[in-house]
Amino acid sequence: MIQKTKIENIIKKYDILKLISSILEVKKSGNSFFTRCPFHEEKTASFYISKKSQRYYCFGCHRAGNIINFIMEYKKCSFLSAIEIISKEKINNKYNKNIKDEPVYKIFNYLNGILIKTTENNITKFIKNRKLNEESITKFKLGIISYHIEKIKNKNIKIFLSKIGILDRNTLKLNKVFKNRLIIPIRNMKGEYIGIGGRTIFNDFKPKYINSPESDIFSKKKIFYGIYEAKKNTNSFIIVEGYFDVIKLHQFGIKNVLAILGTAFSKDHLMFLKSFCKKIIFCFDGDKAGKLASIKTAFMCLPFLFEFEIIKFVIMPQNYDPDSFITLNGKDKFLLLLDKSIFLIDFIFLIMNIKTLNSYFFFKINKILENVENMLVKNFVINYLSNYLYFGLNKIIYNKNVASIFIKACIYLIKKKYLIYKINFDKIFCNKYIFFNKDIRIFLDLCFLIKNNLNLNFSNLNKRLINKIKLKCVNIILLINKMPIDMLENEFLSILKKIESYNLK
């Protein structure tokens, strides 16, 4: 963790006015400095920069902050990345640098050019079947391997190409595993090439995809494909599974899309998104693997429910993926699919197939919540589920402070009066502490009524004790009625043991 003093030193050391002036056209007005806001469209400059306080404020969109906040917002990067950019003094030259002048960029541009000009039948057939246009091929620098790369003399470039897998690490010769594969370059948020994916052009050839090996610059569980192309478009993202999902959605004008790299969505992915994103829509494939990935991702996201404004899931039609769906049905129908996406909690309830209340139901609900440490999230899920099923589940699940054990015992007795025979009154009356709890009188009154009238009608009971038992707990009666007998009896016996051993602590 970065120390607070280091953060303060960075803010003091680097001039926010100098930074913003290197990026935007800043004009002085009296003792103030203004420019057009880079975060929203405007005709009149309303973005104010204070040299004295080293802060900025936009009178239009109300964004405000210090130099670190500006870098995070402008570069769409994480807090740590912003610190790194500033502390390494990469600010001015980084913004003015033309990435197209980089040798590595020229290499991928060269491979891209070979693909565009190729007349090789298998490759052109693959591109045609995928319905990829030349604009998409150029934009994402798709390419094919060429033996001319072995002739590169720059040793550092060769080492880099071996690190990402194009050249063999030992011989620095062309890596043959990428032969007959479409090369898909992978870039980070800064636009730097950090790896590649290779898709076989023959559908019966396995494995279909090969990625760069894990390294200090490439880790599949932390990287999104398409982050460089998507980062400036929005603060909400569609998360898909594959490279071609990203490319095809861009081709149809949907640019706020990222793909995981042939691996499960990870907590690292979630933390990465959390730093600069407010809304997530997961749109995984409609096959069995895609559905399982959606389920796993939903449970992973639940503890972070309040960290995002929206977390939703698209239910893709069977055996479709975003690429094939939008290709066959068009942009409008895909957007309609997004509009029908389901909120995180609703999606979890849907996949759990909650229709009946039984012991397995309680097991599943507790399973959901056992990894949720945030009590706000936990209580929200419970209350939401209560409304979802029109039952007062929150009075039973995680309800230590909702109702006393005496009231809970009353609720069980109200619905299942035969439970009166399970009570050992001698043990209860031997416990002097129970009489310090005001609810014991309600419990004993109810026991007396039931013992003297086992045919007591609940509607009559309403008139006598309902106000004392508290109306908010009565909904549990509906729930208890659905519980299996063995579970109901065990729950009631557990409550009786607590009554018998009740003390003031």
The DSSP-derived string for 111-165 is HHHHHHH---HHHHHHHHHHT--HHHHHHTT-B---GGGGG---HHHHHHHHHTT
Residue with structure tokens 């949720």?
372
CB contact burial 118-134 (16+ within 10 A = b; e otherwise): eeeeebeebbeebebee
Q: CA 181 to CA 171: how far, in whole Å?
A: 21
* Chain centroid to CA 272: 10
Q: Of 187, 231, 234, 178, nearest to 205 (Cα)?
A: 178
What pLDDT, on a 0 to 100 scale, did the predictor assign at position 172? Answer: 84
Report pLDDT digits (tens) over 170-203. 888 888 888 888 999 998 887 888 889 999 988 7
Residue 341: closest CA among 283, 268, 287: 283
The helix/strand/coil state of 70 is helix
180 phi-psi bin (left φ>0, alpha ψ -120 to 50, beta other): left
Q: Is the pLDDT of residue 478 over 50?
A: no
Distance CA 472, CA 395 (A): 9
Highest mean pLDDT among 105-109, 144-148, 162-166: 162-166
List the single range of 110-124, 226-240, 352-366 with lowest mean pLDDT: 352-366
Of 8-22, 223-237, 350-364, the one with minimum mean pLDDT is 350-364
Higher-scoring residue by pLDDT: 232, 445: 445
* Calpha distance 233→240 (Å, rounded): 17
With a cut of 50, say whether residue 334 has pLDDT above it.
yes
- Of the two residues 261 and 395, the one the predictor is more confident about is 261
Helix axes 322-329, 243-251, angle to 10 degrees: 30
Span 269-324, pLDDT tens digits: 888 888 778 899 999 999 988 988 998 899 889 888 888 888 999 999 998 999 99
What is the mean pLDDT of the segment spanning 42-46?
A: 80
Which of these ranges, 92-96, 239-243, 382-386, has the smallest mean pLDDT?
Answer: 92-96
**What pLDDT does 374 receive?**
77
Residue 421 confidence (pLDDT):
82
Can you give the pLDDT at residue 497? 80
The Cα–Cα gap between 115 and 146 comes to: 10
Q: Where are the alpha helices (DSSP H) in 390-437?
A: 405-415, 425-429
Whether residue 322 contacts residue 283, with contact meaning beta carbons closer than 8 Å, is answered with: yes
Q: What is the mean pLDDT of residues 349-366?
A: 63
- pLDDT at residue number 404: 65
Percent of the chain whose predicted confidence (pLDDT) is above 90: 16
Cβ atoms of 438 and 405 closer than 8 Å? no
Residue ranges of the alpha helices (H) in 373-424? 375-389, 405-415
- What is the rounded CA–CA span in Å between residue 447 and residue 421? 10
Rounded mean pLDDT of 102-123? Answer: 78
Dump pLDDT digits (tens) for 393-416.
433 333 333 456 777 777 777 667
First to last CA, the chain: 40
Q: Is the pLDDT of residue 426 over 60?
A: yes
Asked if residue 110 has pLDDT above 90, the reply is: no
Give long-range contacts, CB 8 A cutoff, 24+ apart: 28-37. 37/61, 37/63
Sheet holding 32-35, edge to edge: 27-29, 32-35, 47-50, 55-58, 64-65
The residue among 258, 242, 254, 322 whose CA lies nearest residue 286 is 322
What is the Cα–Cα distance from 470 to 161, expressed in whole angstroms?
71
Distance, in Å, from the CA atom of 153 to the CA atom of 375, rounded to the nearest integer, reads 60
Q: Over range 355-380, report the average pLDDT.
A: 68
Residue 94: pLDDT band (50, 70, 90) is very low
pLDDT of 41: 74
DSSP 217: S
Please report where in the chains the tokens 């005709």 appear, as a residue: 43
pLDDT, mean of residues 200-225: 86
10 Å CB burial of residue 457 (0-12, 13-18, 19+) is exposed
Q: Across all residues in the chain, what is the average pLDDT?
A: 77
